[in-house]
Structure 1
Amino acid sequence: MKKRITILMVLCLALSCALFAQGAMETEKLPVKVLILPKFEIGDISSDFPGEAQYYYDAYVKDGEAYEIKGAFEGNKLYYKDGVALYLTGMGKVNTAVSLTAILSDERFDFSDCYFFSTGCAGSAREYTVMGDVFVITACIDFDLGHHADNREMKDQEATTWFHDEGYDSSSYKLLNQDLANKVFELVKDTELSTTDKTRRVMAKTFDDAEWATRDPKVQKGTTVSGDNYWKGVYDEANALLMAETYGAPDPYALTEMEDVALAVVLDRFGLLDKYIVIRDSVNMDVFMYGSTPENLWSIDDSLASDDSVESADIFATARKNNFLVGSKVVDAIILGNL
């Protein structure tokens, strides 16, 4: 009798161990080495005119698995293949913050050893940049946090119209991991970038043949200013320059876009900011180009992706390729464990 009881106990223990092992296998998380975060795509995600995702999708996650992410951007999927994940976050700070929070909260994925790679296009600052440049970002600033005035309300109508408020500092300025940014920059700084003849002509005509305006595009380090407002013009450019100076950013204000500081805030709150990398390319300038005005630019359907764009000439597709030439070196280094 005792022998039977012992045998039954052994069988029950073995069965429990087997069920536990099976459960552990079923709940094993997918390890993510790098999460690529573009913001929008033009048309299909593959095999047509490239938006922010296409080159990276085709190179790293095409034919991989696709996962629905609860609470993220409606209709978009997280693509996963061989440790690389890609998700289109949607545009603007709210969309990107909610998307990344939803992804990080998804228990199917293991982000403990992950790098977070934000990629996209941007507008860029005069004199320091030209269209087609690619930037390794070292600090992110929120354009909208603080106090803003309309310059028509100012005593000095030529003065800057942004006023710093320290109460927002924990969210309005994020210094990225400088050691990581420097490693990335050393890896990519000599990447040869391209431009177009039309872009050179537009830059030359807009900026009176200034030497800086007609140089070849290159890889640089810089600070980005994220605004939910798609702003443009000399007054807000002055505000962006003031923001970088006020926060003590390590590199000059270079780009304005709509998402990167929001991603930085989310990663910081999850304790993951030290693994955040931002690679952005310039597809237009932060001031009005070639005689354009707010009224004639934004009252028409002037797609940045059009070769006839008043705002970006025909640089969009070339700048996206430039971005991928730089960014793929970073992603490849992460995959190989060389970063």
Structure 2
Amino acid sequence: MAALVGACLALPLGALPATAADAAPSAMACKPAAACETKIPVKVVIVSLFEIGEDEGDTAGEFQLWKERRGLTQRIAFPQGFHDLYYNSETQVLGMVTGIGTSRSTASTMALGLDERFDLRQAYWLVAGIAGIDPEDATIGSVAWARYVVDGDLAHEIDAREIPADWKTGYFARGTQGPNDKTTPVDPESGEVFAINPSLESWAFRLTKDVKLPDTPAIAAERRAFAGYPMAQKPPFVLEGEQLSAMTFWHGKLLTDWANDWVDYWTKGKGEFVTSAMEDTGVMQAMTRLDASGRVDAERVLVLRAGSNFTMPPEGTDAATYLLRENEGYAGLEAAVENLYTVGSVVVDELLGNWDTYAAKTP
């Protein structure tokens, strides 16, 4: 592993270097976030949300496969973020780990975007993480490209024991008259829904929709319990579907129904809830602000989530029992992180292999 460096070069700002290999040594010697004579050029940022243990050599979380297989060996100090950054100067791929939750993902993404050591103006960002997955739409191990990212935290709530008899839930959108109110218009500036660049997302999906994902005995055994869900009975596959981000790890049939209603409301009926996680609206919020300041291009963000567990139990199992069992280890974790890498790498390879085309213009 490359040594971690943090000394500062007191040099004036100048032109960008000819290659990343020329830029890396001097820029890495600059203090975190400080201005440098040169900037590290970045073509792709891999955004992982957590790692289980070490970055290499043990059970893989979201970051480990990217680090090992993409040669992200150059460690860059990042004390203003959650986790040090790793870089490959030949491919110009940068890997980051934001930390779990929207607060950490917002802070880490903003910190990277404002770090003067990096040139991120043409970078593509691939958010790649595990998720809960709705058995109505797919099985664990499946991988979904998000068209919309929806926030599940900004809301009104009253205790479920106090809700009116005709309310399905005590949790409802701000500005509405309760969960039955479907007519109050969505505020596009509310920060509760972010649309992924549709042409970029559809390009990524077309590129990967026929990727064959492996099946495993563990996944097959888990999905057999979901006999009433045809899509859950299929082996893992690539699909499109929306991502709901919330700081609370929720679970159950009733909350899965809520998630579907919530995504339907905020996307004006255009989206379909498929995956649940905790960070993506934080990333998108930061990217929106960074784009406004010219630091990044928010039209170059993709969100890819793989199902490591179902968002609800099978029939005959109560939600509490199933959730507590899942907390002991997700049945689809290994497949999810592997399939994230397999599918995401198709897009990364295409971007890098045809950079002359994609540098100036998104697909």
TM bin (shorter chain): 0.7 to 0.9
The residue aligned with 1:136 is: 145
Q: Return the letter of the residue paired with 1:150.
A: D
Report SS of the residue matched to 2:241: strand
The residue aligned with 1:214 is: 233
Pick aligned residue for 2:50 from 40, 45, 56 = 40
Pick aligned residue for 2:64 from 51, 54, 57 = 54
Q: How does 1:145-160 map to 2 (within 5 A)?
A: 145-156=154-165, 159-160=168-169
Q: Return the letter of the residue paired with 1:332.
A: D
Q: Return the letter of the residue paired with 2:146.
A: I
For residues 108 and 154 of structure 1, what CA distance do their matches in structure 2 show? 52
The change in CA–CA distance for 1:154 and 1:78 in structure 2 (over 3 A counts) is: same
Report SS of the residue matched to 1:152: helix
The residue aligned with 1:16 is: none
Q: Verify: 1:246 aligned to 2:265, yes or no.
A: yes
The residue aligned with 2:183 is: none
Q: Return the letter of the residue paired with 2:351.
A: I
For residues 43 and 272 of structure 2, what CA distance do their matches in structure 1 show? 30
The residue aligned with 1:85 is: 94
For residues 196 and 290 of structure 1, what CA distance do their matches in structure 2 show? 22
For structure 1, the residue ranges without an aligned partner over 5 or more in a row are: 1-18, 305-311
TM-score by length of structure 1 reads 0.84
1:43-95 deviations in whole A, cap 9, x for unaligned?
221232211011111122432x211124211xx21111121100111100001
For residues 217 and 167 of structure 2, what CA distance do their matches in structure 1 show? 35
The change in CA–CA distance for 1:282 and 1:301 in structure 2 (over 3 A counts) is: closer
Deviation of 1:320 (Å): 1.4
Pick aligned residue for 1:283 from 300, 304, 308 = 308
The residue aligned with 2:276 is: 256
Report SS of the residue matched to 2:121: coil
For residues 321 and 21 of structure 1, what CA distance do their matches in structure 2 show? 41
Report SS of the residue matched to 1:141: strand
For residues 215 and 278 of structure 2, what CA distance do their matches in structure 1 show? 24
For residues 351 and 37 of structure 2, what CA distance do their matches in structure 1 show? 25
The residue aligned with 1:7 is: none
Question: Contact 1:96/1:263 (CA < 8 Å) preserved in 2?
Answer: yes
Instruction: Tell which deviates more after alignment, 263-272 or 177-186.
Output: 263-272
Q: Verify: 1:192 aligned to 2:192, yes or no.
A: no
Aligned Cα RMSD in Å?
2.4
For residues 151 and 137 of structure 2, what CA distance do their matches in structure 1 show? 20
Question: Contact 2:147/2:241 (CA < 8 Å) preserved in 1?
Answer: yes
Pick aligned residue for 2:352 from 325, 330, 335 = 335
1:71-122 deviations in whole A, cap 9, x for unaligned?
211xx21111121100111100001100111111110000011011101100
For residues 231 and 38 of structure 2, what CA distance do their matches in structure 1 show? 53
For residues 171 and 152 of structure 1, what CA distance do their matches in structure 2 show? 29
Deviation of 1:158 (Å): 6.5
Aligned-pair identity (%) = 26
Q: Verify: 1:175 aligned to 2:182, yes or no.
A: no
1:179-215 deviations in whole A, cap 9, x for unaligned?
000111111111001222232232222x235433211
1:153-175 deviations in whole A, cap 9, x for unaligned?
22237713332225695311101
For residues 165 and 101 of structure 2, what CA distance do their matches in structure 1 show? 32
Pick aligned residue for 1:110 from 119, 129, 133 = 119
Question: Contact 2:242/2:273 (CA < 8 Å) preserved in 1?
Answer: yes
Report SS of the residue matched to 1:211: coil
For residues 297 and 303 of structure 1, what CA distance do their matches in structure 2 show? 10
1:117-145 deviations in whole A, cap 9, x for unaligned?
10110001121121111011110001011
Report SS of the residue matched to 1:214: coil
Q: Return the letter of the residue paired with 2:232.
A: A
Report SS of the residue matched to 1:171: coil
The structure that has the greater radius of gyration is 1
TM-score by length of structure 2 reads 0.78
Question: Contact 1:146/1:168 (CA < 8 Å) preserved in 2?
Answer: no
For structure 2, the residue ranges without an aligned partner over 5 or more in a row are: 1-10, 18-35, 176-186, 292-296
Deviation of 1:296 (Å): 3.8
How many residue pairs are counted as aligned between the two chains? 309
Q: How does 1:294-313 map to 2 (within 5 A)?
A: 295-296=320-321, 302-304=327-329, 312-313=330-331
Report SS of the residue matched to 1:281: strand
For residues 137 and 283 of structure 1, what CA distance do their matches in structure 2 show? 16
1:263-304 deviations in whole A, cap 9, x for unaligned?
011101111321111111001111124755455456679333
Is the helix fraction higher in 1 or 2? Answer: 1
Q: Return the letter of the residue paired with 1:275.
A: R
Q: Return the letter of the residue paired with 2:252.
A: G
Report SS of the residue matched to 1:198: helix
